Amino acid sequence: MSDERLYSVSIEVNGTLREAQVPARLTLVDFLRDTLRLTGTHAGCEHGICGACSVLLDGEPVRSCIMYAVQADGRKLTTIEGLAQPDGSPGALQDAFCEAHATQCGYCTPGMVIAAHALLEANPAPAEQEIREAIGGNLCRCTGYQQIVDAIKLAADRGSKGGL
């Protein structure tokens, strides 16, 4: 391996404190995926456009591909895995995505769910345009967004805010 300097990071991920030694250039998405093996967060473009890598940083959606793990030291993260029920089955928002068939290949889905979760936390009854703006930074190639918008409306109608 190389002689690159390592930095200690301590990050609360889905309620569990995770500590690791990482090179400064390790992005947050690579940290989640390769170091912690939380592979639900996906890298789609690695330059901050597609939104597939979205995670919640202290409750706010951010793109984990344009953030280094060292920048998240001491912060709290929620990933797509953290929005499921403790037994791994879908949480309320995730269930709405299933009901509306808001996913096809599943690659953008984690980022979409994260963006939708943040929207519904801030705005439990969003209008369609607000939904589209909230997921406007998340590209999907399968769905044409229609069933994703439907799923978020459904989740809002059910009064659910994702997770538990």
Partner 1 sequence: MSATGQSGFRYIGKKRRTKEDPRFVTGRGRFVADIALPGMKHVALVTSPHAAARIKAIRTDKALALSGVQYVLTGAELCAGTEALLPGVDAPKVTRYPLAHGVVRYAGEWVAAVVADTRALAEDAAEKIEIDYEATEYVLDPEKSIAPGAPLVHPAHGSNVLYRRKFVWGPVEEDFARAEHKLALRVRWGRSATVPIETFGIAAQWDPGQQLLDVWASIQMPKYPDQIARALRLPGNAVRVHFDVDVGGSYGVKRGIKHTVLVGYLAKKLGMPVRLIEDRLENMRGGDMHGPDRIFDLQLAFDSDGTIRSLKIRALDDVGAYAGRSPLQLGKPVGAIVGPYQIHSVEYEPISVMTNKTAQEAVRGFGQSPTNYALESGIDAVARHLGMDRIALRKKNFIRKDQFPYLIPSGTSYDSGDYHAVLDKALAAADYPALVAARDAARKAGRLAGIGISSCLEPSGGNSSFEPLFNPKNETTTWMDSCLVRIDLSGAITGVMNTSSSGQGHETLVATVLGEVLERDPDTIRVVHADSLNALPSNSPVGSRMAIMLGGAAAGAARKIKATLLAIAAHNLHKDVAELEYHEGSVSVKGEPGQTLSWAQLVEIAHRKFHQMPPGLEPGLQAKFVWEVPTGGGLPTADGRIQMYPCFSFEAHVVLVEIDPETGQPKLARYACGHDCGVMISPDIVHGMTFGGIAHGIGAALYEKFAYSDNGQLESQSFMDYLIPSALEVPALTIADHCTPSPHTTFGQKGSGEAGYLGAPAAIACAVNDALAPLGASIAELPMTPLQIWTRMQLARAGN
Partner 2 sequence: MVPMKAAPFEYARPETLSEACSLLAEHGPDAKLIAGGQSLVPMMAMRLARPAWLIDIARLAELQHLTAPAEGHADEVFVVGAGVRQCVMERDARACANLPLLAKALRWVGHVQTRNRGTIGGSIAHGDTSAEIALTACVLDAMLELRDTAGVTEISAREFFLAPMVTAILPEQCLAEIRFPVWRSADKNIQRGCAFEEVSVRHGDFALVSACAQLELDADGRCLRAELGLGGAAPTPLALPEVGAQLVGAKLDEQAISAAAAAAVELADPEGDLHASADYRRHLARVLVERVLRAAQQDARSKVGT
Q: Which residues bind partner 1 (CB under 8 A)?
A: 1-3, 23, 25-26, 33-34, 37-47, 49-50, 52, 79-81, 83-84, 88-91, 94-95, 97-110, 113, 128, 131-133, 135-149
Any contact of residue 66 with partner 2 (CB under 8 A)?
A: yes
Nearest to residue 28, comparing CAs of 65, 78, 80? 65
Decide whether 7 or 107 has the Cβ nearer to partner 2. Answer: 7
By the rule CB under 8 A, 37 interacts with partner 2: no
- Report the 3 state secondary structure along 53-120: CEEEECCEEEEHHHCEHHHHCCCEEECHHHHCCCCCCCCHHHHHHHHCCCCCCCCCHHHHHHHHHHHH
Q: Does residue 60 belong to the site contacting partner 2 (CB under 8 A)?
A: yes
Give CA–CA dist 13/82, Å, rounded: 8
- Minimum CB separation of residue 104 from partner 1 in Å reads 3
Q: Rule CB under 8 A: is residue 34 a binding residue for partner 2? A: no
**90 in contact with partner 2 (CB under 8 A):** no
**Angstrom distance (rounded) from CA 19 to CA 5:** 16
Closest among 45, 57, 13, 162 to 102, alpha carbons compared: 162
Site for partner 2, rule CB under 8 A:
2, 4-5, 7, 23-25, 27, 46-48, 51, 54, 57, 60-63, 65-68, 70-71, 73, 115, 118, 133-134, 136-137
